[in-house]
Amino acid sequence: MRSGTLDYVVKRVAFALVTIFIVLTFNFVLFRLLPGSAVTDLSRVPNASPALREALAREFGLASSKWDQYLAYLDQLFHGNLGVSYVNQQPVWDNLRTDVANTVPMVALGTVVAVIAGITSGLVSAWRRRTPADYLLTNSAIAFYSFPTQWLGLMLIVLFGSYLPTTGMTTPFQIGGSFWQQAGDELQHMILPSLTIALTLYGQYTLVVRSAVLETLGEDYVLTARAKGVRTRRLLTRHVLRNAMLPIVTLMGLSFGYIVGGALLVETVFTWPGIGLAVYQAVLQRDYPMLQGAFLLLTISVVVFNLLADLLYARLDPRVSG
Amino acid sequence: MALLEVRDLHVWFALPSGRELHAVKGVGLDVERGELFGLIGESGCGKTTTVLALMGLLPSSASVAGSVRVDGADVLSGGEKGARAHRWTETAMVFQGSMNAFSPVKTIGWQIAEPMEIHGVASRRAARARAGELLELVGIPAAAARRYPHQFSGGMRQRAAIAMALSCEPKLLLADEPTTALDVMVQAQILELLQRLARELHLTVVLVTHDLPLVAHICDRAAVMYGGEIAEVAAVDALYHESRHPYTRMLFAATPELLGGKDVTSIPGSPPRLDQPIVGCAFRPRCDSAVVRCATDHPALAEVARGHEAACHLNDPATGVLSVPDAGQPAGGAG
Amino acid sequence: MLPVAALDADADSDARTGGDTGTGASGTGASAGARLRVILRGHRAGVVGAVILLAFTVLAIGAPWFAPYSTTAASGAVFAPPSLHHLLGTNDGGIDMVSLLMAGGRISMLVGFSCAAIAAVPGLLIGVLSGYFGGVVDTVLMRVTDFFIVLPTVPVMIVIAAVWGPSLLHLIVAISVLLWTSTARVIRAQVKSLRERTFVRRARTLGMGNTRVIFRHIVPNVAPLLVANSVVALALAIFYETALAFLGLGDPTATSWGTIIEDAFLRTAISVGAWWAIVPPGICVALVVIGAYLVGQSIEDELNPRLKVAHFSARFWSFRPLVGRGSEAI
Amino acid sequence: STGASSATLLSIGTGYQVDSLNPFVAVESTSLAVFKYTYPSLVQYSTSLGIVGNFATRWSHDASGLNWTFDLHPDAKWSDGKPLTATDVAWTINTVLKYATGGGAQMATYLQGVKSATVSSPTTVVIHLSSPEAALLANLAQMPILPEHVWQKYATGKDGANLRTFSNSPSTGHPDVDGGPFICISYSVNGVSLFERNPDYYGPKPTISGFGLEYFSSATAMVSAVKQGKVDVILNAPPSAIGNLKADKSLMVDTKPAFNESDFFLNDYAKKTSDRELLNPLVHQAFNDAIDRAAIAKIAFDGDAEPAMTPIPLADTYWHDPAVKPPSFDLAKANALLDRAGYKMGSNGVRMADGHPMSYTVILATDELGPRTRAFDIIQSDFAKIGVQLTVKVTDDATAATLELAPSNKFNLAMWGWTPPSADPTFMLNTFSCKQFGGWSETAYCTTEYTKLFNEQATALTSAKRRAIVFQMEAMLAKTPVTYILVYENVNDVWNKQWTGFGETPNGLFSPLTTFGITHVHHA
Amino acid sequence: MSGRSGMSGMSGPILRLDELRTYYPARRNLVDWARRRPRRVVRAVDGVSFEVHEGEILALVGETGCGKTSTIQTVVGGFPATSGRVVVDGRDVTRLSGRRLRAVRRITQMIFQDPYESLNPRLRIRKAVEEPLQVHKLVASRSERRRLASEALERVGLTPAELFVDRFPHELSGGQRQRVAIAAALILNPRLLLADEPVSMLDVSIRAGVLSLIDGLRRERAMAVVLVTHDLSTAAHYADRIAVMYLGRIVEEGPTADVLRNPQHPYTQALLSVVPKSDPRDRFVPRVLEGETPNPANVPAGCRFHPRCPVATAECTVVDPALAPPRASRAAGHRVACILTQGPPPVEEREAAGANNA
Ligand SMILES: Nc1ncnc2c1ncn2[C@@H]1O[C@H](COP(=O)(O)OP(=O)(O)OP(=O)(O)O)[C@@H](O)[C@H]1O
Ligand SMILES: Nc1ncnc2c1ncn2[C@@H]1O[C@H](COP(=O)(O)OP(=O)(O)OP(=O)(O)O)[C@@H](O)[C@H]1O
Ligand SMILES: [Mg+2]
Ligand SMILES: [Mg+2]
């Protein structure tokens, strides 16, 4: 690794770490500044006496000073402990683990589809600039970009609800079945939620890719490549796309935060038992430890993805290494 | 038969407003094998457009008419696809902003080897080896092939661009202001290189520049362009000493000399707008010796001496006046 | 002496100023109106966008006067399909959808405009300070901005809205808090390049103070960019408002397009087939977002003329045989 | 949509999660219903809301009413084959009591007045009370009996906190140790939980092989699912979908008055320092007359509710006093009452009380906002006509609770709702007793007379006598109302007509009251 | 063209640089930081001294990156001087601040290379020209400001001014823009004009117009001009004196004719040899220097030119020569920084030079 690259990597990683630390603190502050403090919410316990509430408050460590709580919180986090859900008294991490496992394939499928479709159509519409194909692709991208995610999901239910499953991850009461049957079933359930994510992202990605490609098409090295006799396909992929990938990678890294938000809405619409739905439930139930844990997880994953995007950028762009 | 034969070349650009910009207006050129040919003119007069048209490299908004023959083969009539077959194997090009002529994410070696691979001139392996040799040829160590463009200085990039242009052993090399962005000393290095290569490889070179002295010393013949047209074509010596077009003459007069000590006078006004039709001679508004006829008649390029053509009514005996002051021996010379 | 009406026709000056030299209307003689017409012609999409935005703004402002029915009392049957009386039918409470959409637009546009306006302040401030002063100021401000950028927007808004409880004000603040980052970044980049532009350097060597340079030379030059970003922020705010409302974090006492979608969703408009209760609010949001996008994009295209050239595209130059002229020249 | 193996599997869609499988933790009514089906309880309700046996076959008490003896099913077994006996009953009761202020607090509410439990034989358990408790059986009907051999290791320490940390959910391949008609074999909060028939169940064997509960985060999806036959039953269909569902020939829509009620209430705290006009009985009556309950039921609740008055819901037929009727909506009368109270109408149309305008903020908790905000709109416009200006403040539940529940008591008016946990009137009546100040009393209503009656009914030994006292209390609350019960909501359970044999209750057909809801369901 | 510097020598120089140094801090990477290497610097200007007198044009020429821009930017305060003195009209601006500094700034004006960039695209021409007056709060009344602006525009050949004042920069050609920039610089009646490659972005055909304008103005108002250019022909044609810069230093300086006809420094000689001549018949034997443009972050020891010098000796690698009169030139003020050519001229030549000077 050249010293420039090392420089860059160390800086990016350090920044990611600092960001995560700030996120941790922000997270703590945000949740300790809530009105209707966590203690009052223990009034969920019917007929609770003040003594009991106090006991519970002690159990959740809410009685000590904020600073001690903060240290305890960091200590707990350091040991991988995100606290205990108010609602089901289970460690937040245990609750979230399955949720994350459910969310990842659905979101990943949608994102991958969106990336592939977005890059293709962005590339094609930039290359076919000012032709009917461009107008079609660009306008549909703008439309998909502008539809509210949850609304788009609902529309898909309207359109495809009778052909494809619209709720949950599996056919509820199908017991047994081979692994492949189950996988096929899960994939079927995944189609609509993933499609919703894919479509919203598709719009955004197409527009981003289109403008990145347009900008690249104006670069002199494209003219050079054309002068060299490079054919269309190679020119578009090796020269144009390869360079346009630089802004695209950065923007896609940034769009991870957007994906997380979209996943939340999509999971609510399709009752996909993932982390988004968990956040939704936690909001409804004021399950602050869950909300806090999920929020932390989401934020850190966004930071990590941005970091990965940055590192990928460094790999793609030799100029980074100075 | 000349290596490059251009006949009545026109290029129009469709503007967003719906209008058309007539950037090249009936240019005709003959460049002989092994010749170093210069194309001079002010900014915006259509030099780049002309050389791009020679390779069919125009943007989609352009439409072209006329014929371009390289080594007898028609480049333009087959459209982009037809033109592509001639690119780099017959005609190669060195661009002005060599800084940007290389993709920043690929190594120099890769980019030099690419045309050899895609034209089937050499296998991938051979192409890489050849890329190193080419770099050596232009005075860069072969090992530098593994480096990226941003790790090269401007001069090195320009040399690499030349190496890249030579990769498929083209017959014709088009160099569009190859030294404009460079420092004087580096410019001298590059010019020396071009001259050497032309000599050693029997290359035919078309050198586009707005720098008169440069053409004077590198090229054998040169064409002066004005407003999308050729104003004058001649051997460089004739251009300077027996110029038959006021524009050429005024252009020389506007160029300071290191030790000449002549008066330097600028050409008043600015070049014509090419998106509007021009009646008469395009240079008339700025010309110091325009006559009445210039306002109405468009002067055609005509032979005024052996191997010397000019598009000026003053050369026409019918105009009656033929007193072209010689820029080479300025009347009010150095004080 | 240069002729008065001289006008550069060279490609260089085109690229630099993003001007439309060659279109003929930018000359001295051209009136402002003609110039505007030329600009508008190059930005048809932007004009369409502006018209959409304007129309929705007018409808929002005029809602109390234009709305045909009350938005709190039933004026028809539950989920009555579109008819002459109710052009878009009624919702689950028998309330006229057209009236509801207009009232909803009022709140949604209010949220949009407020958020865009609020977010423009830190966006401009941080962008200008960071870009102009650079150094430590830049580092600190940009780290702060980066931090806000990596925060996942919707979850943060959820948390903030959940923390403070649902109200329009909280919603606006929650959305604005995260909306300024892209503006700040874009403006910073622009200011950074402006700062190195010769006319700014010239102003500084003239002895002009920083404040004056910023207000006279920097801000006017980033203003179009700020407008472009704010228009997009407006759309995003409306977009986020629907998301928060959908999650039950909107202001339940203020009808917005978001709460209309939420209501329709909660109250099963879809499963009973009442598409008219759920499709139109989504379309409204989409139209505003599209309008804003088109306007923003047009402004940016105008500012970034690099997009005007493409050295390569699916369409190629055309070969035009010369009719009647042949090769008589030469 | 389901394979052959699930032919007798009943799929149920619900909009409420099973929040936990641990009875010390769970609060959602879906969870409590699950416990009814997976754990034994001594007694339970019948679908007509009478108390019938469950694990207990017979019960009796001595003359003092302080010692109750329960005879239990013999030869009962837990699902892991271990014997299910009186020891488990006594252990559960004694453990809950031991940790009543710690981990057992939640279950302790079912053991009001209970002192201890003793085992007199493997099939006999005796429960000892400290004072007579009229609601004992109703309370016991809600209390799940847990397997001692599974739970005892969590009943440790000073506060029994571990009782709450045990997740009690089946891990793959290891079903829960259950003793009710069904065994939980898989569990997912936001997904599907599956329950299988318990072959060793002591009572009448379920007719279905099992059931599944699917959680829907969207009512839309839930309604679509039942329409498309993806689930057999949906619980609590939203009112707006009822018309459409009824039109579907394959579906049965069962609309029944439920225990749920929506209310509008004021702060009656006697020692409050501001807005004391709200303590004026004339105001209480005027407000009562100015609420258009019929309009609220029709418009806000889409007609899927009944106008209400007494806090004991209509569905609770035995305890609901039919004589206490909602007043007729009468703005003139309300205006007259306020005039009589001396609160003059100001020029701006708002009455002045003790020098300040009668202008109040109404606190609205966010849960189930839709109908309630519409109800507020109606009340607001009517109150404007009697010179009372209302504005709304929406808060989340926790904040609303903080504001409304004594001792903070920082509000004037509020809207919320109740769902009584059982058919016993104690819970609802209790919310108006003086000793609930600081507990469940929202209004801080407190009269010695009422409290006396409350104590009397709580210890009444015959239900007839108790009923008379309860009716007296309902009438009393109606006379100077501080809580205006607006409507009793309906419950709309929907099922596919290929099924029949559901046992419905006012809590719906999947309720914590009884095991008869779905145990005997079969194909039509 | 020689003989134009007749006005110098009457009073003190209007601009005097005295061992001026301008260093830019170089970015330090992590490895350097970890190894505690000292922060490196870019020695863009590394000990430059020269004088410019009233009515004189001094051309500053040299390769790209040799520090021309940095030098004049330091004079106008664009960059802080690291050491040395910048004396304008007898006052050292590196020690001035506040009002006194502004007074000096007022008489020092600058023209930038890029006419397309030097005007704010959103300001009308009038505003751009008036701006210096406003900044220095020289004229209170608006009408007076307008009058001065029109006057300045007409002075640079934009007549009638009314046709230009209300236009935006993009409505002007490059040459016109550069004239506007000059007008804006002239409105303060500067005594020193610093022009950083004022015509290199302009077309050959109109360069002469702008340069003649500057030339005319300095004659008419005895303005001193520092003309930065990389085009030796331009320098030859317009400057009274030429200073050749190499890697942050002036390596040769003297009257134009002397430097051109009798270059002493090997670098100057090489530089002159590569300038192509318009006449194809002129002898053109470029003596092209090998190697890359040098890097001011890494200045070689000894004579900074020695690595590229065709005639360098062993001594050159250790001795860093100062400017001194060359042995082989009798011209006054001709100085060179090369140990191989320095040295006192023969006595008779010195006398001749002295006589010439008087
Ligand atoms: N893609 C294009 N679309 C429209 N007009 C164009 C395009 N490219 C060039 N032109 C116009 O065509 C004319 C000739 O341009 P060209 O680039 O060939 O000039 P040039 O002589 O190479 O100038 P320079 O010295 O500035 O490179 C100019 O007026 C220019 O504005
Ligand atoms: N702000 C800066 N920070 C760091 N280094 C700089 C800065 N400005 C200039 N330099 C460096 O200082 C050296 C001298 O630059 P300067 O611009 O003065 O040269 P120049 O002679 O004007 O060159 P050119 O002919 O290209 O304009 C160069 O190596 C340049 O890279
Ligand atoms: Mg060109
Ligand atoms: Mg410079």
Instruction: Count, in order, helices (H) and strands (E) of chain A.
Output: 13, 0
Through-space distance between the first and last CA atoms of chain C, rounded to whole angstroms: 37
- Determine which residue's CA is closest to atom 30 belonging to ligand 2: E65
Residue B204: in which H helix or E strand, if any?
strand B204-209
For residue C308, name the pLDDT band (cuts at 50, 70, 90): low
Q: Are D76 and D202 in contact (CB under 8 A)?
A: yes
Residue E146 in contact with ligand 2 by CB distance below 6 A: no
Residue B274 in contact with ligand 1 by CB distance below 6 A: yes
Amino acid symbol at A315: R
pLDDT, average across residues D237-246: 84
Could you report the per-residue pLDDT of C194-222, keeping only the tens digit for each? 888 888 988 888 878 889 999 999 999 99
pLDDT given for residue E202 in this prediction: 84
Q: Which pair of structure tokens corresponds to residue D346?
A: 């100001």
For residue A59, name the pLDDT band (cuts at 50, 70, 90): low
Residue C77 in contact with ligand 1 by CB distance below 6 A: no
C-alpha B13 – ligand 1 centre gap (Å): 9
pLDDT given for residue D294 in this prediction: 92
pLDDT, average across residues A3-32: 83
pLDDT, average across residues A233-237: 92
Measured between alpha carbons, how far is residue E329 from residues E61, E326, E332, E345 in Å? 20, 6, 8, 7
Could you report the per-residue pLDDT of D27-37, keeping only the tens digit for each? 888 999 999 99
Residues with Cβ within 5 Å of ion ligand 3? Answer: B 48
pLDDT given for residue D370 in this prediction: 67
Q: Are D23 and D146 in contact (CB under 8 A)?
A: yes
- The answer to whether A152 contacts chain C (CB < 8 Å) is yes
C-alpha E43 – ligand 2 centre gap (Å): 9
Interface probe, candidates D217, D220, D224, D404, chain A, greatest A C-beta count within 10 A: D217
- The dihedral region occupied by C2, where left means phi > 0, alpha psi between -120 and 50, and beta the remainder, is beta
pLDDT given for residue C38 in this prediction: 66
| Three-state SS letters, chain C | CCCCCCCCCCHHHHHHHCCCCCCCCCCCCCCHHHHHHHHHHHCHHHHHHHHHHHHHHHHHHHHHHHCCCCCCCCCCCCCCCCCCCCCCCECCCCCEHHHHHHHHHHHHHHHHHHHHHHHHHHHHHHHHHHHHHCHHHHHHHHHHHHHHHHCCHHHHHHHHHHHHCCCHHHHHHHHHHHHHHHHHHHHHHHHHHHHHCHHHHHHHHCCCCHHHHHHHHHHHHHHHHHHHHHHHHHHHHHHHHHHHHHCCCCCCCCCCHHHHHHHHHHCCCCCCCCHHHCHHHHHHHHHHHHHHHHHHHHHHHHHCHHHHCCCCCCCCCEECCCCCCCCCCC
For residue A39, name the pLDDT band (cuts at 50, 70, 90): very low
More confident residue, D304 or E53: E53
**Mean model confidence pLDDT for chain C:** 79
pLDDT, average across residues D271-278: 85
Instruction: Count other Cβ atoms within 10 Å, centred on residue C198.
Output: 20
More confident residue, A107 or C33: A107
Could you report the per-residue pLDDT of C41-54, keeping only the tens digit for each? 777 888 999 999 99
Instruction: Name the percent of chain D lying above pLDDT 70.
Output: 96
pLDDT given for residue B8 in this prediction: 93
User: Apex CA B125: angle with CA B119 and CA B129, to 5°?
Assistant: 95
For residue D369, name the pLDDT band (cuts at 50, 70, 90): low
For residue C23, name the pLDDT band (cuts at 50, 70, 90): very low
**CA nearest to B61 within chain C:** C317
Question: Residue B93 is nearest to which of A227, A230, A319, comparing CB atoms?
Answer: A227
More confident residue, D6 or C314: C314
For residue A55, name the pLDDT band (cuts at 50, 70, 90): low
pLDDT, average across residues D53-65: 92
For residue A47, name the pLDDT band (cuts at 50, 70, 90): very low
pLDDT given for residue A44 in this prediction: 44
C-alpha E203 – ligand 4 centre gap (Å): 18
Closest CA to E178 of E204, E151, E209: E209
Cβ distance C9 to B12 less than 8 Å, yes or no, reads no
Q: Does the pLDDT of residue A64 top 90, yes or no? A: no
Q: Which residues contact D356 (CB under 8 A, 6 or more apart)?
A: D275
C-alpha to C-alpha distance for D302 and D241, rounded to whole angstroms: 10
Q: Are B190 and B161 in contact (CB under 8 A)?
A: no
Q: Give the torsion sign (CA, D53, D55, D57, D62).
A: negative
Residue E171 has what DSSP assignment? G
Closest-lying ligand 2 atom to the alpha carbon of residue E197: 27
For residue D6, name the pLDDT band (cuts at 50, 70, 90): very low
Cβ distance A88 to D25 less than 8 Å, yes or no, reads yes
pLDDT, average across residues A111-137: 92
pLDDT, average across residues C84-113: 89
C-alpha to C-alpha distance for D192 and D222, rounded to whole angstroms: 13
Domains and CATH numbers, chain C: 29-319 (1.10.3720.10)
Q: Which pair of structure tokens corresponds to residue C68?
A: 């045909």
- Determine which residue's CA is closest to atom 12 belonging to ligand 1: B23
Closest CA to B184 of E286, E237, E271: E271
pLDDT, average across residues D347-370: 84
Q: Are E305 and E246 in contact (CB under 8 A)?
A: yes
pLDDT given for residue E4 in this prediction: 41
Could you report the per-residue pLDDT of E263-276, keeping only the tens digit for each? 999 999 999 999 88
Q: Which residues of A223-260 are buried (b: 16+ CB within 10 A; e: fewer)?
A: bbbbbbbbeeeebbebbbbbbbbbbbbbbbbbbbbbbb
Angle between helices B124-137 and B154-166 (to 10 degrees): 130
Sequence-ordered strand ranges (E) for D177-234: 182-186, 192-197, 210-215, 233-234
Instruction: Name the percent of chain E lying above pLDDT 90.
Output: 37
- The answer to whether C9 contacts chain E (CB < 8 Å) is no
pLDDT given for residue B324 in this prediction: 45
Instruction: Name the percent of chain C lying above pLDDT 90.
Output: 26
Bond into C252 cis (ω within 30): no
Nearest ligand atom owner, CA of E66: 2
For residue C149, name the pLDDT band (cuts at 50, 70, 90): confident
For residue C29, name the pLDDT band (cuts at 50, 70, 90): very low
Place of tokens 């050729």: B230
- Which chain E residues have any C-beta within 8 angstroms of a chain A C-beta? 29-31
- Bridge partners of E243, per DSSP, are E60, E253
* Nearest CA-CA distance, residue B196 and chain E, Å: 14
**Mean model confidence pLDDT for chain E:** 85
Residue E64 in contact with ligand 2 by CB distance below 6 A: yes
Residue E296 in contact with ligand 2 by CB distance below 6 A: yes
Measured between alpha carbons, how far is residue B191 from residues A229, B194, B205, E286 in Å? 26, 5, 12, 10
- The answer to whether B115 contacts chain A (CB < 8 Å) is yes
Residue E323 has what DSSP assignment? P
Q: Does the pLDDT of residue D289 top 90, yes or no? A: yes
Task: Find residues 82-121 of chain A whose CB sits inside 8 Å of chain C.
Answer: none
For residue A56, name the pLDDT band (cuts at 50, 70, 90): low
C-alpha B9 – ligand 1 centre gap (Å): 15
C-alpha to C-alpha distance for C89 and C97, rounded to whole angstroms: 6
Instruction: Name the percent of chain B lying above pLDDT 90.
Output: 56
pLDDT given for residue C158 in this prediction: 80
Length of chain A: 322
pLDDT given for residue C26 in this prediction: 37
For residue D173, name the pLDDT band (cuts at 50, 70, 90): low
Could you report the per-residue pLDDT of B236-281, keeping only the tens digit for each? 999 999 999 999 999 999 998 888 777 889 898 888 988 888 999 9
Could you report the per-residue pLDDT of B154-201, keeping only the tens digit for each? 888 988 999 999 999 999 999 998 888 788 888 888 888 898 988 898
Closest CA to D360 of D287, D309, D292: D287
Q: Which residues contact A38 (CB under 8 A, 6 or more apart)?
A: A57, A60, A62, A86, A288
For residue E296, name the pLDDT band (cuts at 50, 70, 90): confident
Instruction: Name the percent of chain E lying above pLDDT 70.
Output: 92
Domains and CATH numbers, chain A: 93-316 (1.10.3720.10)
Residue of B12, B24, B40, B47 to mutate, ligand 1, most atoms within 8 A of C-beta: B47
Cβ distance D3 to A174 less than 8 Å, yes or no, reads yes
More confident residue, D41 or E291: D41
ipTM of the complex: 0.83
Measured between alpha carbons, how far is residue C148 from residues A306, B291, B329 in Å? 13, 70, 71
Length of chain E: 358
pLDDT given for residue C218 in this prediction: 93
Q: Does the pLDDT of residue B323 top 50, yes or no? A: no
pLDDT given for residue A32 in this prediction: 67
Q: Are B113 and B96 in contact (CB under 8 A)?
A: no
C-alpha to C-alpha distance for D155 and A218, rounded to whole angstroms: 74
Q: What is the pTM of this model?
A: 0.84
Q: Does the pLDDT of residue A62 top 50, yes or no? A: yes
What are the chain A neighbours of D161 within 8 Å (beta carbons)? 59
For residue E195, name the pLDDT band (cuts at 50, 70, 90): very high
Counting other chains too, the contacts that C320-324 makes at CB distance below 8 Å and 24 or more residues apart are C320/B10, C320/B12, C320/B63, C320/B64, C320/B65, C321/B65, C322/B8, C322/B10, C322/B65, C322/B66
pLDDT given for residue A322 in this prediction: 57
Q: Which residues contact C101 (CB under 8 A, 6 or more apart)?
A: C88, C257, C260, C280, C281, C284
Amino acid symbol at D6: S
For residue A123, name the pLDDT band (cuts at 50, 70, 90): very high
- The answer to whether A1 contacts chain E (CB < 8 Å) is no
- The answer to whether A30 contacts chain C (CB < 8 Å) is yes
Place of tokens 């809580």: D483
The Cβ-side half-sphere exposure at E185, using a 13 Å CA radius, reads: 31
Place of tokens 């649902």: C166
Measured between alpha carbons, how far is residue C319 from residues A130, A232, B223, C110, C326 in Å? 19, 19, 25, 54, 14
